[in-house]
Each structure stands twice: as structure tokens, then as C-alpha cells.
Amino acid sequence: MSVIRRAPRPARHAGAAFAWLFALFSVAVAVWMVLNSLKSTRAVFDDPWGVPTDPRWGNYARAWQASDFGIAALNTVMVVFGTAVATIALAAPAAYALSRLLSRWNTGLTVFFALGLGIPAQVMILPLYVMMNRLYLVDSLVGLWILYVATSMPFTVFFLTGFFGSLPRELEEAAALDGASPNRTFWQIMLPLARSGVVTALILNIIQHWGETLFALIFLQSEHKATLSIALLGFLQRMQYNGADWGGLFAGVCTVVLPLLVCYVWLGRRIIEGMTLGSLK
């Protein structure tokens, strides 16, 4: 019996072409940004598309010192990685319960978390500021960490719920026959099996909050508590008064952006595999 294969749809070709064009455009922008980070301000304007003939690696050192990137990087690492770990620790048990426990409330709670994905951050700013101010958490890295965890929960729970739902229930039944409690089954059996989804959610949370600017700009007011994105913004503002240093500015942008690009290139396949496995039943 012959197998009839369907011809590829034009829309699929168009989508693939658009994806490749977007990827090439992103790579070109990253390369252009790195090249200009090694130029002087005059060279940036005289030959913005050319390769630097005399690379100025000192731009990175100057941008690092002028923007206090050292303290900002430490603040960013503590808040972002603390957010990712805390979000996974809270979202994984919640997602497992929503995917396994049969209750009339489960559907409503899952929809509730899904609705949280559609709320713009700008809508939440004013009530969040009033609440955080009453709790004395404005201008606090702990307060920013709490905000990041709270805003990360809808996506993480929704994502992990689908991932836990794809795991076979027979494993839980076998564990119950062996006398394992639901709590032990989750921590020792189901959570290790969901490692790909958990790692994917962890990486996506890190990428989401590494360059976050809106919450950090509004809820952090002291310079020594600034994150990388706020330090870069402060460097840009000081350029307006102390003279333009476009080579240093490009170096500062590279300092903030390149770690994310390296992380995505290194772990991109794991992210895609985790999201694909979580979408299959």
C-alpha cells in the first residue's frame, strides 16, 4: 500500500523563511553591536558598518567603571537567580497538584493562572506600588524579588501543568502500591522525571528577568541597589551631560545582552526540547 504524502503548504515555507530571516537579522544586529563596542565615538559615526581597525577593548572597562556594573551585576545575579529558584520551588508542586488531583476547582484554578498571562505589567504598577510602599518594600531588592516571583508564577505554573500532565500516571499507581505517599511520589519520582520541563522553566525565568527594566526602574531608587538594566540607563543619562561616548555605550549594552545570548545559544536546544516535550501527551 503506497503512502500518500502531502505537499508542503506555502504557509509553512513562508513561516520558515520568516523565522530564518528574523534569526539572521538578530545575529546581524548582535555582530554590529559588538563591532561598534570596539570603536571610538568618531569611528562609530564615520564608519558604523565597518570593522574596527584599532579595537578599543578599554571601552568595556570604562563602561564597567562609569556605570558601576560590578554592584549592578551582583544585584542582578542575586535577584534573578533567587527569583528563578523560588518560582520553581513554588510552581512545581502547584502545577503537579493541578495536573493530578481530580477536583472541580482544578479547571478554574488553571484558568486563573492562565489569565494572569494576559495582564499587562503597566496595569499593575500603581496598585503594586501602593501595596509595596505600605509594606516598606519599595527601594528593596527583597521587594523586587517578591514582585518577580509573583509575576513569574502564572506562566511557570501554566507551563509545568502541561508538562506534568504529559507524564504517565502508571508510575504513581506503582508507587502507591509500594506504599509511597503522594508527597514522596512527587519529590522522588515525578519531579526528577520532569527535569527537562523544570530546567526549561528555570532558564526562561532567568532570561525573562535578566534585562527587566520597568519594575526595577519604579521600585528601586538607590544607585547601589540598581540592576544591570538600570545601571545602563543611568550611564546613558550621564552621557547627555558629560559628552557622548558611543563606544562605551555599545560596550555597556553588550555587557547586559551578551550573557543572555550565550546562555540561549548554549542551552537553546534544551529549552526547545523541554517546551516540545511539555506540549505532547
Here the cell at position 234 is: 543611568
Angstrom distance (rounded) from CA 155 to CA 71: 30
Angstrom distance (rounded) from CA 238 to CA 267: 36
Angstrom distance (rounded) from CA 255 to CA 250: 9
Sequence-distant (≥ 6) Cβ neighbours of residue 33 within 8 angstroms: 250, 253, 254, 257
> What is the mean pLDDT for each group of 10 consecutive residues in the chain (281 residues)?
52 77 85 90 85 86 83 93 94 87 67 75 88 92 94 89 83 82 85 86 89 91 89 82 79 86 72 56 45
pLDDT of residue 1: 42
pLDDT of residue 281: 45
pLDDT of residue 172: 82
Locate the domains of the chain by residue range. Answer: 59-279
pLDDT of residue 215: 93
pLDDT of residue 3: 47
Of the candidates 266, 204, 206, which has an alpha carbon nearest to the alpha carbon of residue 81?
206
pLDDT of residue 115: 75
pTM of the predicted structure, to 2 decimals: 0.82
Angstrom distance (rounded) from CA 42 to CA 21: 31
Per-residue b or e along 67-104, where b marks 16 or more CB atoms closer than 10 Å to that residue's CB: bbbebbbebbeebbebbbebbbebbbbbbbbbbbeeee
What HEC string does the chain produce? CCCCCCCCCHHHHHHHHHHHHHHHHHHHHHHHHHHHCCCCHHHHHHCCCCCCCCCCCHHHHHHHHHCCHHHHHHHHHHHHHHHHHHHHHHHHHHHHHHHHCCCHHHHHHHHHHHHHHHCCHHHHHHHHHHHHHHCCCCCCHHHHHHHHHHHHHHHHHHHHHHHHHCCCCHHHHHHHHCCCCHHHHHHHHHHHHCHHHHHHHHHHHHHHHHCCCHHHHHHCCCHHHCCHHHHHHHHHHHHHHHCCCHHHHHHHHHHHHHHHHHHHHHHHHHHHHHHHHHHCC
Please give the radius of gyration of the chain, using alpha carbons only, rounded to the nearest integer: 23
Here the cell at position 4 is: 500518500
Q: Which CATH superfamily is domain 59-279 in?
A: MetI-like (1.10.3720.10)
